[in-house]
Chain A
Amino acid sequence: MIRETLVPLAAGTIFGAGLTIGGMTDPARVRGFLDLFGAWDPTLAFVMGGAVLVMAAAWVIQRKMIRPAFSDTFALPDRNDLTPRLIGGSALFGIGWGIAGLCPGPGFAALAIAPASAAIFVAAMLAGMLAVRLM
C-alpha cells in the first residue's frame, strides 16, 4: 500500500515540477511552440528532448530488469497496430492542445497556479474521457 502510493506520488510531484520549470504550465509558451509559422518558441522541443533522452536510458535499464524495483511486474503497452482510432484520437487531441495551450499534465499541474482556469479545463477533459467511456 505504501509503496503503491509513494512511488507514483514522488513521480507525479517530480513530473509536475519539471512541467513548471520547463514552462509547460504557461499556455503562451506551449502555443508559442505550436505557432510554427509565426513567432515560433522552440522551448517545448528542449523539454521533450530532455525527457526523451532520460527515458531512452530508462528503457535500456528496464530491459535488464526482471521486475520493477517497487512492484511485482511490469505492465507495459505491447500493441503495435496503427488504427483509425489512434490516429483520429491523436488528431483531435492536437486540436484541443492547440486551442488552449494545455495538455493533461500541465492541466493538473496548473491547479496549483491558476486553480479556477485549470479546474475548468480538467473538468471538461474528464467529461470528454467519460464520453469515450460511455461510447
Chain B
Amino acid sequence: MSLAGFPDAAPLAGLAGGVLIGLAAALMLLGAGRIAGVSGIAARAFGLADSSLPRVGAWAFVIGLPIGALFVTSLTEASTPGFAAPVTLAIAGLIVGIGTRLGSGCTSGHGVCGMSRLSQRSLVATATFMVTGFATVAAMNAFGIGVLP
C-alpha cells in the first residue's frame, strides 16, 4: 500500500514493524521489568553503564537485534540498503554514543518507552533529537553534502 503524496513511503510495513517493536518493548517491561532502551542496554552489555539489568540479559538483548534482522532478511528478497562511508559512519557513531549517554536514551528508550509513558524527560528528549535530526539533514542538503550511495 502506498500513501497519497508520498510515493516512497511504506506505511503498512512501518506500522507492522512498529507494532513488533512495541511488543518487544512490552515483553521487556512486563516480563523483565525493564525499559527496552537500546543505548542503555548496549552500554550495560559492554560495561559502560551501571544498571540493575543483569549483564547476561543485556548481552542477550543486544545479540537478539541482528538475529531478528537476519530472520527478516532471510525471508524477504529486499536489496541490501546503502550505508554511509566508513569515516562518516565513525563520526556519526561517535556523536550518537556520546549523545545517547549524556541524554540517557535514544529513539527506543525515550521515543518508544518514555513517550508512551508520557515521561516529561522523554517527551523533551525526543522533541530535541527530532529537531536536531531534521536540522542536520536540512543543513547537509543545503550544503550539498550527500552521505548515502
Contacts and interface: CB of A to CB of B under 8 A. Distances in A.
Residue of B15, B104, B137, B147 ringed by the most chain A CB atoms within 10 A: B137
A89 B126 CA distance: 11
Interface in B56-76: 56-58, 60-73
Contacts of A96: 91-97, 99
Contact of B53 (A26, A75, A113): A75
Given A35-B137, A41-B6, A20 B72 contact: yes
Given A98-B135, A99-B140, A40 B6 contact: yes
A124 B133 contact: no
Contacts of A5: 56-57, 60
Interface of B is mostly: helix
Contacts of A128: 93-99, 101
Interface in A60-117: 61-62, 65, 67-77, 79-82, 85-105, 107-114, 117
B65 A16 contact: yes
Contact of A14 (B20, B43, B137): B20
Given A54-B26, A89-B101, A113-B80, A99 B147 contact: yes
A132 B119 contact: no
Interface string A42-66: 1111111111111111110110010
B28 A46 contact: no
B133 A98 contact: yes
A78 B102 CA distance: 17
Interface in B1-40: 3, 6, 8-36, 38-39
Interface residues of A, number: 118
Contact of A114 (B61, B64, B83): B83
Contact of A92 (B42, B43, B80, B98): B98
Interface of B: 3, 6, 8-36, 38-39, 41-43, 46, 48-49, 51-54, 56-58, 60-73, 80-84, 86, 88-108, 110-117, 119-121, 124-126, 128-138, 140-141, 147-148
Interface of A: 1, 4-29, 31-32, 34-59, 61-62, 65, 67-77, 79-82, 85-105, 107-114, 117-118, 120-133
Given A5-B57, A51-B18, A97-B133, 12 more contacts: A15-B61, A20-B17, A27-B81, A34-B137, A35-B137, A55-B26, A55-B112, A96-B97, A109-B68, A112-B73, A124-B93, A129-B97
16 contacts: A1-B56, A10-B27, A16-B71, A18-B17, A20-B69, A22-B20, A36-B138, A77-B114, A87-B103, A92-B95, A93-B103, A98-B136, A108-B66, A112-B66, A126-B42, A132-B102
